[in-house]
C-alpha cells in the first residue's frame, strides 16, 4: 500500500491556514486534527484538492511556493475570504501566503512558532475550559508583540490582585478583557460573526 505524503510542517496549511493556532489541533482525543497532512490526517480528511495539488503533485509545503501562485481558482477563493467567510482566522490566509511568497517560508515559520508558544502558554495557564477558541483567534489575528505584552500585563494584574493560582476562571477573565480591549481599539473582531452579518 502506497504511503500517504506527510508535510514537514503540519502547523501550516497548504492553503495558508495557521493549523498550529487552531482549537482542533489542541483537542485531546479522537477528534483532534493533526494539522495539514499530519500523521493520520488522511483518515480524517481523505479528500483535499489543495493538498493533492500542492503536496502530492508538486511536493511543496504551501501554495505560496508554487510558480503559478496564485492560480486562477485559488485567487478567486482568496478574494472572497474576508468578505464571505465566517471563520475569523481565515482572514489571515491571504496575508500568510503573500508573506511567504515575498519573505520566505522559514521567516513565516519563525513568526508562527512565536504565536504557537504564546497560545500554548495561554492554554496552560488561562484556559477556563471555554476560552480555547478565543485564544486561538486572538493569537492568529493580533500582533505577536502585543500578545506578549498583554500576556505579561495579565500576569502582573493577577499577581497584584492576589488571584489564586488555581482560580482559572478569574485568570481567564483578566486575559480575555485585555485581549478584547486591545482588539477593539484596532477594530479587530475576536468573536464569531453572526449569520446576519455575512
Strands (E), the chain: none
Are 11 and 35 a contacting pair, CB within 8 Å?
Answer: yes
Q: Which residues of the chain have pLDDT under 50?
A: 1-2, 193-198
10 Å Cβ neighbour count for 105?
18
> What pLDDT is stored for residue 79 in this prediction?
67
CA 184 centroid distance within chain: 19
Q: Quick one: angle between helices 144-160 and 105-126, nearest 10? A: 20
pLDDT reported for residue 186: 84
**pLDDT computed for residue 159 by the predictor:** 94
pLDDT score for 1: 44
Distance from chain centroid for Cα 69 = 22
For residue 53, give the H/E element and its range: none
At CB < 8 A and 24+ separation, what contacts does 125-131 make?
Answer: 125/171, 126/154, 126/168, 126/171, 126/172, 126/175, 127/168, 127/172, 128/168, 128/169, 128/171, 128/172, 128/173, 129/168, 130/172, 131/172, 131/175, 131/176
Is the whole model's pTM more than 0.95, yes or no? no
So what's the pLDDT on residue 88?
Answer: 66
pLDDT of residue 131: 93
**Per-residue model confidence (pLDDT) at position 113:** 96
Cell digits of residue 82: 474576508
pLDDT for position 55: 86
Amino acid at each position: 500500500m502506497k504511503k500517504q505524503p506527510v508535510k514537514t510542517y503540519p502547523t501550516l496549511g497548504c492553503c495558508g491556514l495557521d493549523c498550529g493556532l487552531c482549537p482542533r489541533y489542541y483537542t485531546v482525543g479522537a477528534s483532534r486534527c493533526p494539522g495539514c497532512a499530519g500523521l493520520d490526517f488522511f483518515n480524517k480528511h481523505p479528500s483535499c484538492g489543495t493538498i493533492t495539488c500542492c503536496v502530492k503533485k508538486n511536493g511543496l509545503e504551501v501554495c505560496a511556493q508554487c510558480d503559478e501562485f496564485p492560480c486562477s481558482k485559488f485567487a478567486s477563493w482568496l478574494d472572497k475570504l474576508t468578505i464571505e467567510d465566517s471563520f475569523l482566522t481565515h482572514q489571515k490566509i491571504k496575508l500568510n501566503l503573500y508573506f511567504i511568497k515575498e519573505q520566505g517560508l522559514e521567516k513565516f515559520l519563525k513568526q508562527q512558532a512565536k504565536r504557537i508558544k504564546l497560545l500554548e502558554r495561554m492554554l496552560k495557564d488561562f484556559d477556563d475550559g471555554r476560552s480555547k477558541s478565543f485564544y486561538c483567534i486572538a493569537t492568529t489575528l493580533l500582533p505577536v508583540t502585543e500578545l506578549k505584552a498583554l500576556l505579561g500585563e495579565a500576569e502582573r494584574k493577577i499577581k497584584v490582585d492576589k488571584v489564586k493560582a488555581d482560580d482559572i476562571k478569574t485568570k481567564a477573565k483578566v486575559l480575555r478583557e485585555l485581549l478584547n480591549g486591545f482588539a477593539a481599539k484596532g477594530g479587530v473582531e475576536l468573536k464569531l460573526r453572526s449569520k446576519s452579518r455575512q
